[in-house]
Amino acid sequence: MKKTVLFVCGTRPEAIKMAPVVKAFAAHPQAFEARLCATGQHKQMLEQTLRFFGLTPDVDLAIMKQGQTLYDVTTAVLTGIGDVIKKLAPQLVFVQGDTTTALAGALAAFYEKVPVAHIEAGLRTGDKMAPWPEEMNRLLVSRLSDFHFAPTEAGRAHLKAENVTRNVHVVGNTVIDALFECVRIVERDYDEAFKKEFSFLDPSKQLILVTGHRRESFGEPFAEICRALADIVRQFPRVQLVYPVHLNPNVRAPVDAILRGLNRVHLLEPLEYPKLVWLMKRSHFIITDSGGIQEEAPSLGKPVLVMREVTERPEGIAAGCARLVGNRRESILNGVKELLTDTAAYTRMAKTANPYGDGTSSQAIYDIISRDLP
Ligand code: UD1
Ligand code: UDP
């Protein structure tokens, strides 16, 4: 009998990482009815991502409010998804990652006694306050889930340490599937158009791509990050920064106050995924606190400086493609100095193989579920 599988996503990274899995299931309509529920935890940033992947949600809960609190998102998603599950009666609910949407989606499925499959399972920092609230979200999603798709062996080991051993599969990270598809499309269809669109960039200056949005950095740490970015353009006249700024008001306020109007700092609106990928490819290196960008950059040969005190993605650090520089002004600047002045250090970081996946994760997830879902 045909099974209904419900995919739940709410934010930009969930959409990027879930899209290839939704497509893998949608390619087998005789076996599965693939349904997509967008919670709308993000609005514009989610819509632009789903549009690029050609996905139209079957349901959009449209819950986003400006400056929303964790209570707002958790309660709205929980009740909203509960109703969707009651109506669609799926045999399996997929959630991705560690957002509030993932937690509330898994909890609603549990309340409706529907099994949960977790994409990107087993990531841990061991510190429940960093990233906050994501570390706790992932712990709780693991307890609620029946299928666990870990990107690396480290994920399996973390789950085992928490006595989660059934239906744990190491499949790589689906973000690499999404990235490879995006790179193909960008090279085929968009290269010329993007060259025109970004013609304000100076080809004689090295390009550093920046993103940042973590809740635990809000306030003074985020201001420090911005001051470090201002120092970079002041001290290195041959670099330009491109920074697509997250729509969270806690991010935009310090960015506007400290960086807007500075020479060689290009502040942009959040970019559609193909534009971001195009800029990553053209960058010299990347400074970010993003989880997804840490995973993508090694596939494009770009070193990453991670502006966080801890990361749940130590594989990149161990492999040598990423460096944890913290969120203090001095340490960020030191990391940048090294990459701009030490060619050997730069080349080592740029030439490291990607430890997060090889572009086949979604097919692996499809194969396992079609074999093992009762
Ligand atoms: C959320 C996730 C975080 C993930 C990030 C990806 C939680 C707790 N946090 O954080 O794990 O890394 O998404 O980007 O789940 N906004 C808009 N339009 C948008 C998106 C956001 O205006 O399309 C603004 C709104 O004012 C919104 C605010 O950003 O209230 C915060 O959005 P929210 O999803 O609560 O938090 P993020 O910081 O985006
Ligand atoms: N991204 C994007 N446009 C942007 C910034 C990021 O498409 O302007 C992509 C990026 O390539 C990665 C994902 O969004 O795949 C990461 O999202 P984010 O940093 O918001 O969340 P995180 O991965 O930290 O949860």
Distance CA 204, CA 94 (A): 46
pLDDT in tens, 86-126: 999 999 999 999 999 999 999 999 999 999 999 999 999 99
Closest residue (by CA) to atom 15 of ligand 2?
A: 292
Residue 351 reports pLDDT greater than 90: no
Q: Please report the pLDDT score of residue 336 as a whole number.
A: 97
Whether residues 234 and 157 share a domain: the answer is no
Whether residues 81 and 198 share a domain: the answer is no
Task: Read off the CATH number of the domain in which 226 is found.
Answer: 3.40.50.2000
Determine if ligand 1 sits within 6 Å of the CB of residue 68.
yes
What atom in ligand 2 is closest to the CA of residue 244? 8
Q: Is 202 a catalytic residue?
A: no
Distance CA 349, CA 150 (A): 25
pLDDT in tens, 140-170: 999 999 999 999 999 999 999 999 999 999 9
Whether residues 272 and 167 share a domain: the answer is no
Let me know: does 161 contact 126? Beta carbons within 8 Å: no
Q: Please report the pLDDT score of residue 228 as a whole number.
A: 97
Whether residues 234 and 283 share a domain: the answer is yes
Q: Please report the pLDDT score of residue 287 as a whole number.
A: 98
pLDDT in tens, 171-221: 999 999 999 999 999 999 999 999 999 999 999 999 999 999 999 889 999
Whether residues 157 and 240 share a domain: the answer is no
Q: Give the three-state DSSP class for 168.
A: strand
Percentage of residues in the chain having pLDDT higher than 90: 98
Whether residues 161 and 200 share a domain: the answer is no
Tokens (6 digits) for 33: 């009815």
| List 215, 252, 284, 328, catalytic entry | 215
Residue 159 located in a structural domain: yes
Residue given tokens 């009651």 in the structure block = 86
Residue 249 reports pLDDT greater than 90: yes
Per DSSP, helices labelled H in the chain are: 12-26, 44-52, 70-88, 100-111, 134-144, 153-161, 174-185, 191-197, 220-235, 249-259, 273-282, 291-296, 314-319, 329-341, 343-350, 361-372
Candidate from 64, 255, 288, 289 with most ligand 1 atoms within 8 A of CB, to mutate: 64
pLDDT in tens, 265-287: 999 999 999 999 999 999 999 99
- Mean pLDDT for the chain overall: 97
Q: 216 is in which domain, residue-wise?
A: 192-350
Spatial CB neighbours of 2, under 8 Å, sequence gap ≥ 6: 30, 31, 32, 33
Whether residues 126 and 166 share a domain: the answer is yes
User: pLDDT category, 352, cuts 50, 70, 90?
Assistant: confident
Tokens (6 digits) for 97: 């990652």
Q: Is 28 a catalytic residue?
A: no
Residue given tokens 């419900």 in the structure block = 6
Residue 87 located in a structural domain: yes
The whole-number average pLDDT for the span 362-372 is 98
Tokens (6 digits) for 244: 């697509």
Residue 1 reports pLDDT greater than 90: no
| Centroid of ligand 1 to alpha carbon of 181 (angstroms) | 25
Residue 40 reports pLDDT greater than 90: yes
User: What's the domain count of the chain?
Assistant: 2
pTM above 0.95, yes or no: yes
Residue 186 located in a structural domain: no
Whether residues 112 and 129 share a domain: the answer is yes
Residue 62 located in a structural domain: yes
Report the interhelical angle of 249-259 vs 220-235 (nearest 10°). Answer: 40
Whether residues 167 and 18 share a domain: the answer is yes
Q: Give the three-state DSSP class for 96.
A: strand
Let me know: does 268 contact 242? Beta carbons within 8 Å: yes
Residue 184 located in a structural domain: no
Question: Considering every ligand atom, which ligand is closest to the CA of 131?
Answer: 1
Whether residues 167 and 201 share a domain: the answer is no
Tell me the backbone φ, ψ of residue 118, rounded to 5 degrees. Answer: -110, 115
| List 156, 169, 213, 323, catalytic entry | 213
Whether residues 162 and 220 share a domain: the answer is no
Residue 178 located in a structural domain: no
| Centroid of ligand 1 to alpha carbon of 42 (angstroms) | 6
Residue 107 located in a structural domain: yes
Whether residues 364 and 323 share a domain: the answer is no
Residue 177 located in a structural domain: no
Cis omega before residue 90 (within 30°)? no
Q: Give the three-state DSSP class for 219.
A: coil
Candidate from 42, 129, 251 with most ligand 1 atoms within 8 A of CB, to mutate: 42
Q: What is the DSSP letter of 297?
A: G
Residue 349 reports pLDDT greater than 90: yes
